[in-house]
Amino acid sequence: MNIKKNMIATFLGIGLLTSPSFADNVRIGFHAPLTGFAASDGKSAQNGALLAVEQINAAGGIKGDILELVIYDDQASPKESVPIAQRLVEKDKVVATISGSYSGATRAAAGIFQESGVPYISAYAIHPDITRAGDHVFRTSFVGEVQGRAGAKLIGEALGLKRVVVITLQNDFGKSLAAGFKEKAKEFGIEIVAEYEYSIKDRQFGPIVSKVRSDKPDAIYASGYFFTAGPLVSQLRAAGIDAPVIGQEGYDSQKFIDIAGPASEGVIITTSLDRDSKVPETMNFIAAFEKMSGQKSDMVAASAHTAVHVLANALRTSGDGTSLRDAIAATDLTASTGHISFNALGEVGKAVQVQIVRDGNWHHHSVIDDAEFLAAPTE
Amino acid sequence: MIYLELVVQGIVQGSIYALIALGLTLVYGLLRILHVAHAALFTLGGYIGVLVTNSTGNFPLAMLTAMIVVGFVGIAVYKLAYEPLLEKPPYIALIASIALFIASEEIFRILFGPYGLSYTNPPLQLSFELLPDFYLKQGELLVIVGSIIMLTVLALVSGKTRMGVSWRATVTDPKMAQAFGINIQHVRYWNFFVGSALAAAAGVLVALLNNLVEPTMGSVTSYKALAIIVLGGLGSIRGTLIASLAIGIIESFGTIYIGHLMNRDAIAFAFLIVVLMFRPQGLLGAK
């Protein structure tokens, strides 16, 4: 087992230093890609989770006990996440675990937590099969298809654009977004004029950019992470293509704006975090995260932060005959990414935030809040 | 017109492959070592290019600095990693090279952070209409022109100068060259310096096209460049150049027309396999 980091981070609220010495720590597991290609997302997610733990302990912990995060690096790889999951269950004896990782790693680990009866929350991995591992697995972000549907509604209805080129990232993230988008495209009168795919390792999109220019679309629906979408958008704009680019939560990082520079202006995405929110939980998170990490907040940090709060809330309400699993299932909580509740499959129901880049920052564009339209799968 | 654009995009990509793969061919020709860690020098070049451009605003200076610094790092890699292993079978050096490459990704991450770096004011981003409805970005033009210039200079040096003659003599028969009074050690230093400097130039250019350097930027390059030198016929410089352009153009068309079946790496490797079925020695390799 290759574990590069095995950090046990304990955050003590000042008030807790005087708490009785027999107080037990409540240990929860956390795994994220802290090295490798996804290390930047892993780092943000870890900071979001640590911030939540710090806030929870400062506010008195879990019924007086200190919340402790047991952190592992999974390199976004199932090869790593499986032994990590076994270790968390058998050796670290955590009460529950949060995945701050991508779909591959999360999906592989989910089965192990389910078998061991340890509740598991996916903070932002979007593959539909994750929650299908069983009744102990939950997800606090949108499943890919739901966000794809939101993209179709945004482009076809709110923006009224009809001729769309779809550029899809060739992995479970991109594919499930494209599937959701295509499922609803007709409903909103969208004609998909062309579709291209690229691999997660691509940063040079010269051929696709040339072809898109000759396609002359009204809009471009492109899935990707900030490290692919940043180069893609900057290359599209440099080639003189000014059709609106619509992305998703993978773009949701200040780093996207750094990479694409002025080309990022006007890019619209569907995501979970509203930068201009007036909801106290979200406003507090954004301010505290920037203070703690020195980075602007992003979707993965907010998602990990939300997942820890959901778990802490369930830890407080469980006991006295209510299992932790049932307490999570009964969640009804406002957190940094919105109001969280789960359906029968453990999928979240919440509104989709639409953000736009203006003057080098993400800002509020609109909200898609149609529970029926956004309904996640229930089985 | 779209076909012409795709060919040109393929040439842009192929030029970059050529700059990287050439260093690999030079090392293989001289020492019979598969220098996987070469891709780490490409990444280092990208980082230096962005850091110097951002702090001085001078892109040509950044390019020059990256090439010189990385050239010396290349010599250090030879001196520290390969020289002590020259007497051992070549796979030992290959293992050392792979280890060095893997370690380098994490070193970049620790030194420069996991988020990658971008130019704050990316230079040469404007596009111009070369022909009606045919655009080229300044950066892309620089890639093509820059590669032609660098490769021409290299060809002239190896063909016309004393240094070049001793280099070719050493590649052909090191013992004989030594007997004629050629300092093999110097030849090896130059070899690593030039190869690494070209990789650094490629790194700076890729950073310009993508406006992003990240710790794992060399991961695709590491195996793609190996595929290219195999395709070209191991150790053949002309073969490497032809293979680079061929792979660049095939990827360019493949991405558009069969991209939904295979991603661009798979397309490149499928092409490699097909060629090797008919020419196991590579495009220009000797039988």
Separation in Å, CA of B252 to nearest CA in chain A: 5
Do the Cβ atoms of B219 and A37 come within 8 Å?
A: yes
Give me A303's structure tokens: 């998602």
Q: What is the mean pLDDT of chain A?
A: 89
Please indicate, yes or no, whether residues A206 and A297 belong to a single structural domain of this protein. no
Same domain, A128 and A148: no
Q: CB count, 10 Å around CB of A51?
A: 24
Q: What is the pLDDT along chain B (287 residues), one digit of tens a residue?
A: 788 889 999 999 999 999 999 989 988 888 888 899 999 999 999 999 999 999 999 999 999 999 999 999 999 999 999 999 988 888 899 999 999 999 999 899 899 988 788 888 888 877 777 777 777 888 899 999 999 999 899 888 888 888 888 888 888 888 888 898 888 888 999 999 999 999 999 999 999 988 899 998 998 888 899 999 999 988 788 899 999 999 999 999 998 898 888 888 889 899 999 988 998 888 887 65
Interface contact flag, B114 A210, Cβ < 8 Å: no
Give the amino acid at B124.
L
Residue A150 falls within a domain, yes or no? yes
Q: Is position A376 within any domain?
A: no
B68's tokens: 């010189």
CATH code for the structural domain at B2-278: 1.10.3470
Contact check, Cβ <8 Å, B135/A40: no
Q: Do A207 and B209 touch (CB under 8 A)?
A: no
- The counts of H helices and E strands in chain A are 11, 15
B residues 151-170 closer than 8 Å to A (CB): none
B127 contact A CB<8A: yes
Q: Which of A35, A170, A213 sits opposite B106 (nearest CB)?
A: A35
A198 plus A222 within the same structural domain: yes
Helix (H, G, I), strand (E, B) or coil at A36: coil
Asked if residue A332 and residue A224 are part of one domain, the reply reads no
B263 interaction partners in chain A (CB closer than 8 Å) = 170, 197-199, 202
CA distance B262 to chain A (A): 9
In order, the DSSP letters of B186-251 are HHHHHHHHHHHHHHHHHHHHHHHHHS-B-TTTHHHHHHHHHHHHHHH-TT-HHHHHHHHHHHHHHH
- Of A211, A231, A239, nearest to B127 by CB-CB distance is A239
Q: Are A230 and B211 in contact (CB < 8 Å)?
A: yes
* Whole-number Å distance between alpha carbons of A126 and A135: 17
Q: Which residues does residue A356 pair with via DSSP β-bridges, in sequence order? A: A268, A363
Tell whether A373 is covered by a domain.
no
Q: Are residues A59 and A194 in the same domain?
A: no
> Hey, what are A284's tokens?
């507090």
- In-domain check, residue A55: yes
* Whether pLDDT at A4 is above 70: no
> Is A175 contained in some domain?
yes
Please state, in angstroms and as integers, the Cα–Cα distance from residue A68 to each residue in A25, A50, A292, following that order.
6, 9, 18
Q: How many CB atoms lie under 10 A from the CB of residue B154?
A: 17
- State the smallest CA–CA distance between residue B130 and chain A in angstroms: 12
Residue B259: closest C-alpha in chain A: A197
Residue A151 counted as domain residue? yes
Q: What is the b/e burial string over A103-142, where b = at least 16 CB atoms within 10 angstroms of the residue's CB?
A: bbbbbbbbbbbbeeebbbbbbbbbbbebbbbbebbbbbbb
Pick the residue of B13, B255, B265, B269 with the most A CBs within 10 A to test the interface with A by mutation: B255
Let me know: does B218 contact B42? Beta carbons within 8 Å: yes
Contact between A184 and A152 (Cβ < 8 Å): yes
Query: Which residues on A lie below 8 Å from B115 (Cβ)?
Result: 40, 43, 255
Q: Which residues in chain B have their CB less than 8 angstroms from residue A252's CB?
A: none
B246 and A CB contact within 8 Å: no
What beta strand segments (E) does A233-369 contain?
A: 245-247, 268-271, 333-335, 338-340, 352-358, 361-368
Structural domain spans, chain B? 2-278
- Residue A185: which region, alpha, beta or left (left: phi > 0; alpha: psi -120 to 50)? alpha
Q: Taking CB atoms and an 8 Å limit, are B265 and A201 in contact across chains? A: yes
Query: Strand (E) positions, chain B?
Result: 127-131, 134-137
Contact A255 B116 (CB under 8 A): yes
Best CA proximity match to A368, nearest among A229, A235, A180:
A180
First to last CA, chain B: 40
Number of separate domains in chain A: 2
Tokens 């200079």 sit at which residue? B153
| Cβ within 8 Å, pair B259-A197 | yes
Reported confidence tier of residue A1, pLDDT bands at 50, 70, 90: very low
Q: How far apart are CA B260 and CA A119, in angstroms?
A: 37
Whether the predicted model's global pTM rises above the 0.80 cut = yes
Residues of B in contact with A206 (CB under 8 A): 9, 12-13, 140, 209, 252
Judge if A180 and A130 occupy the same domain: no
In chain B, residues with a C-beta closer than 8 Å to the C-beta of A260 are 211
Q: Are residues A14 and A151 in the same domain?
A: no
Asked whether residue A377 is domain-assigned, the answer is no
d(CA B98, CA B101): 5
* Residue A233 and residue A359 share a domain: yes
pLDDT digits (tens, 9 = 90+) for B99-144: 999 999 989 989 998 878 888 888 887 777 777 777 788 889 999 9
Rounded to two decimals, the ipTM of the complex is 0.86
How is chain B split among helix, strand and coil, in percent rounded to 5? 75, 5, 20
| Res A23: pLDDT | 52
Nearest to A45 by CA among A297, A278, A310: A297
Q: List chain B residues with CB under 8 Å of A215.
A: none
CB atoms within 10 A of CB B194: 23
**pLDDT for B286:** 67
Q: What angle, 0 to 180 degrees and rounded to 10, lies between the N-to-C axes of helices A172-185 and A103-116?
A: 100
> Do A207 and B115 lie within an 8 Å CB cutoff?
no
Residue A126 confidence (pLDDT): 87
Residue A147 CA, distance from chain mean position: 11
Q: Are residues A132 and A154 in the same domain?
A: no
- Contacts of residue B218 in chain A, CB cutoff 8 Å? none
Q: Are A267 and A297 within one domain?
A: no
B134 touches chain A (CB under 8 A): no
Task: List the single best residue of A34, A175, A201 to mutate versus B (max B Cβ within 10 A).
Answer: A201
Residue A337 maps to a domain: yes
Q: What's residue A11's pLDDT?
A: 40
Residue with tokens 């309904």: A375
Interchain contact, A206 vs B116, CB within 8 Å: no
- Cβ within 8 Å, pair A197-B260: yes
In this structure, what CATH number is given to the domain that contains residue A105? 3.40.50.2300
Residue A34, min C-alpha distance to chain B (Å):
8
Please choose, from the candidates A354, A167, A173, A165, the residue with its C-alpha nearest in 3D space to the C-alpha of residue A268: A354
- Which residues in chain A have Cβ-Cβ distances shorter than 8 Å to B106? 35
| A197 three-state secondary structure | strand
Same domain, A232 and A217: yes
Q: A195 and A155: one domain? A: yes
The 10s digit of each residue's pLDDT in A258-298 is 999 899 999 999 999 999 999 999 999 999 999 999 989 99
Residue A318: which domain range?
A: 6-142+277-348
> B216 touching A, CB under 8 A?
yes
Query: Residue B140: what are its φ and ψ, rounded to 5°?
Result: -70, -40
Cβ contact A328:A119 at 8 Å: yes
